[in-house]
Amino acid sequence: MLEIRSLSVHIRSRRGVVHAVDDVSLTLLEGEALGIAGESGSGKTTLLRAVLGLLPRSAHVVHGEIIFEGVDLLAVSAKQAREVRGKRIGMVFQDPMTALNPVMPVGDQVSEGPRYRLGQSADESRRTAMKLLTEIGIPDPARRYRAYAHQLSGGMRQRIDIAIALSCRPHLLLCDEPTTALDVTIQDQILRLLKRLSAESGLGMLYVTHDLAVIAQTCPTVAVMYAGQVVERGPVAEVFSRPRHPYTRGLLASVPDVHRIGSALEPIQGTPPDLHSPPSGCRFHPRCPLAQVDCLDGDFPLLSTADDRATACIHSERMATTPLLSTGL
Ligand SMILES: Nc1ncnc2c1ncn2[C@@H]1O[C@H](COP(=O)(O)OP(=O)(O)OP(=O)(O)O)[C@@H](O)[C@H]1O
Ligand SMILES: [Mg+2]
């Protein structure tokens, strides 16, 4: 359904060029949900925005292909790409307040797509919207239909945003932290709905979140990003129980676990690199407990193994015997 090949995105800033996404390749099958994890600034939002063709003006794709249902979105005309994206790709943004129109009742924003893009009648599109509002867990949907964005709570706006993204029955849904603002029961309800849609109608999903538990619950496959690159990918249960990249292991060790209340968390040492001038070699080497001299330069592509996993680390066999803290250099 979606194949991203060697995608690199640069963003111009006052201090130079940010290498926000660097040589990322990912494949998504129909009905598959791929979780994307990684610290703040690792390029997750930039990656999704590139797929959607909504990069900031200062950003541009320097290299790569984004093939969606057989069409390379970067190679066709802007008009063609917009058409494909508008009809078949939905997106839930990180910040719901900026996504909603402040002067239009939220229900009309949900029915707009079905009305004008799917060609439904006014009544029909209203019913579609009401159904979505109900499914997404909006209490008293008939009243909320007429409300404006500022009259709703953050969690409610987030759900409206999800309803809009789903309203044209997209084939692919791009989610950027869609449930961070929601309480756990609502979050659970939405994750179930998304899972059901991918099972029943083949909806494909790229699901970005900091919350590894949400990925474990929602996505069969996970890709971990670090400093603009994918450093590990594989079936979520295996990656989370036996990570093969030290960054993934560090990420997992820094998550609070209710089963270990009171036990110390082990944050990853140091800070993510400045992407104006990322470290040479493996970008994680300055923070890595496994690092050796051969990590300092060269390329570190994501290498797949027969068991459907991939890692960019060349020393992963030493993970079991190396403590998390202290760097190897
Ligand atoms: N408009 C911009 N101008 C300059 N740099 C930017 C811009 N947008 C993003 N960046 C930089 O690009 C890199 C990737 O940012 P991005 O927002 O994609 O990360 P992210 O993984 O989504 O982070 P978060 O988890 O905080 O949302 C970061 O180094 C960020 O500082
Ligand atoms: Mg982001």
* Residue 25, in any domain of the structure: yes
Any residues with Cβ below 6 Å from ligand 1, and which? Answer: 11, 13, 18, 20, 38, 40-46, 56, 58, 94, 275
CA end-to-end span of the chain:
42
pTM of the shown model? 0.90
Q: Are residues 294 and 211 in the same domain?
A: no
3-state secondary structure 99-111: HCCCCCCHHHHHH
Nearest ligand (C-alpha, residue 14): 1
Q: Are strands 2-13 and 16-28 parallel, antiparallel or unpaired?
A: antiparallel
pLDDT at 187: 83
Rounded distance from Cα 242 to ligand 1 centre (Å): 29
* Residue 107, in any domain of the structure: yes
Q: Are residues 195 and 98 in the same domain?
A: yes
Tell me which residue range forms the domain holding 275. 248-257+266-329
* Residue 160, in any domain of the structure: yes
Q: How many domains does the chain have?
A: 2
Nearest CA to ligand 1 atom 25: 40
* Residue 205, in any domain of the structure: yes
* Residue 242, in any domain of the structure: no
* Rounded Cα gap, residues 201 and 31, in angstroms: 7
* H/E run at residue 321: none
Helices in the chain by DSSP H: which ranges?
44-52, 78-88, 96-99, 106-116, 122-135, 141-144, 154-166, 184-201, 212-218, 236-241, 246-253
Asked if 232 and 310 count as a contact pair (C-beta separation under 8 A), the reply is yes
Q: Which residues, in sequence order, are bridge partners of residue 114?
A: none
Asked if 46 and 21 count as a contact pair (C-beta separation under 8 A), the reply is yes
* Rounded Cα gap, residues 207 and 85, in angstroms: 17
Q: Are residues 71 and 127 in the same domain?
A: yes
Nearest ligand (C-alpha, residue 18): 1
* Residue 191, in any domain of the structure: yes
Amino acid at 240: F
Rounded distance from Cα 223 to ligand 2 centre (Å): 15
Please enumerate in sequence order all residues whose Cβ is within 8 A of that of 250, keeping only pairs 6 or more positions apart, or say none.
Answer: 266, 267, 268, 287, 324
pLDDT at 222: 97
Asked if 107 and 145 count as a contact pair (C-beta separation under 8 A), the reply is yes
Q: Nearest to residue 129, comparing CAs of 149, 146, 150, 151?
A: 146
> Phi, psi at residue 28, to the nearest 5°?
-125, 125
pLDDT (tens, 9 = 90+) of the chain, 329 residues, equals 999 999 999 999 999 999 999 999 999 999 999 999 999 999 999 999 999 888 999 999 999 999 999 999 998 888 888 888 888 999 888 765 567 899 999 999 999 999 998 899 999 999 999 999 998 888 899 999 999 999 998 778 888 988 999 999 999 999 998 877 678 888 888 888 888 888 888 899 999 998 898 899 889 999 999 999 999 999 999 999 999 999 999 999 887 765 555 666 677 888 899 999 999 999 999 999 999 999 999 999 999 998 999 999 999 888 878 777 667 67
pLDDT at 328: 67
pLDDT at 247: 95
Q: Are residues 202 and 106 in the same domain?
A: yes
Nearest atom of ligand 1 to the alpha carbon of 46: 18
Q: Are residues 61 and 7 in the same domain?
A: yes
Q: Are residues 277 and 195 in the same domain?
A: no
Q: Are residues 213 and 114 in the same domain?
A: yes
Q: Please state, as a whole number, how many other Cβ atoms lie within 10 Å of the Cβ of residue 32.
A: 18
Q: Are residues 271 and 211 in the same domain?
A: no
